[in-house]
Homo-oligomer: A and B are copies of this chain.
């Protein structure tokens, strides 16, 4: 089976919350894309429950694009400890950490239910599995811990 980089990371050595560059890939014409590990909670110690994670997903999709150019996709890890972020170009982990922190602050402090995109039976694949309360409480906790731009150094 093809080897995947993410399973080579020693998850016992990292200190979440952090932003890590997984890799930069170059296309045949020379365009670059970056793949980041946005690790919100400490591996194997915690995991964000599905409803809160789902609401954070819908909000980050809009809020990160408001703050960064070239966002291709931001999707949760199956392990529910964070998200992949894929972008055009090569933003630094410092830039990404700043955009992530500010997005989570907006979730914690400003977002109201009416602001959450994709919460109806038409616009969502599982509209009954959302929790803005959970999204806000997790965002508050993550921001209070500081988001490092180095996976091995606590902020």
A1-26: which have CB < 8 Å to B? Answer: 1-4, 6-12, 25
CA distance A82 to B126 in the complex (A): 11
Q: Is A62 within 8 A of B3, CB to CB?
A: yes
Stretch at the interface among A70-78, A92-100, A144-152: A70-78
Q: Is B66 within 8 A of A1, CB to CB?
A: yes
Residues of B within 8 A of A140 (CB): none
Q: Is A62 within 8 A of B2, CB to CB?
A: yes
Q: Is A118 within 8 A of B7, CB to CB?
A: yes
CA distance A50 to B51 in the complex (A): 12
Pick the contact of A1: B55, B62, B73, B123 (CB < 8 A).
Answer: B62
CB-CB under 8 A for A117 and B7, given A27-B27, A31-B29, A66-B1: yes
Pick the contact of A125: B79, B125, B128 (CB < 8 A).
Answer: B79
Q: Is A11 within 8 A of B117, CB to CB?
A: no
Does A143 sit within 8 A of B, measured CB to CB?
Answer: no
> 8 nearest interchain CB pairs?
A27-B31, A79-B125, A2-B65, A57-B78, A1-B62, A54-B78, A75-B75, A79-B126
